[in-house]
Structure 1
């Protein structure tokens, strides 16, 4: 198996985990930031909206860039958003971090799928 295929799989696992893990810890996040659980639910909705708008936007913007460079950029954007979320001292910054991380989601899976198909026989 090519090493690049393993890297794509790890990236996909990380993105998938980031998308869904918040649902399991929503009450704790709400308590930590001093907001209601429905308000903390915006962390789920904000991520989803970022995917909806980020996927087509970043895919179109990345058409002139090599697939490898685009995947690296998307992973850097994803890591930056997660770092912001992890270090956020306030709910608004946590939400901003989730949205930044989500922008890479759809484009990564779209481009990554094409790259993965090219890597296997």
Structure 2
């Protein structure tokens, strides 16, 4: 349980930074407290999307992994972030990713920040 909470908070921080850096990613809302709650809920949605859908997409795109030497991972991560935006919209969360290139850059930033924070905070999985 501790690992799940830590991963969610790490993803929330990474999503927040991506929303600050990338023009096509918006995290709107009212007060700072509302934004913090929104980004934590978006991180939960992102975690569910990555846990449930990403393995299926990776399995179906196995030939592309071999053909591109794994570079298709960047595209899959972008699609997972875009799907998170779509799901967040359906859940009335104030998180939006506008376009594939914003999703690609945002997914790259989220991956790097999540990796770095996991290293620093000692995520044991």
> TM-score scaled to structure 2, two decimals?
0.37
Bigger Cα Rg:
1
> TM-score scaled to structure 1, two decimals?
0.38
**Structure in which a larger fraction of residues adopt helix:** 1
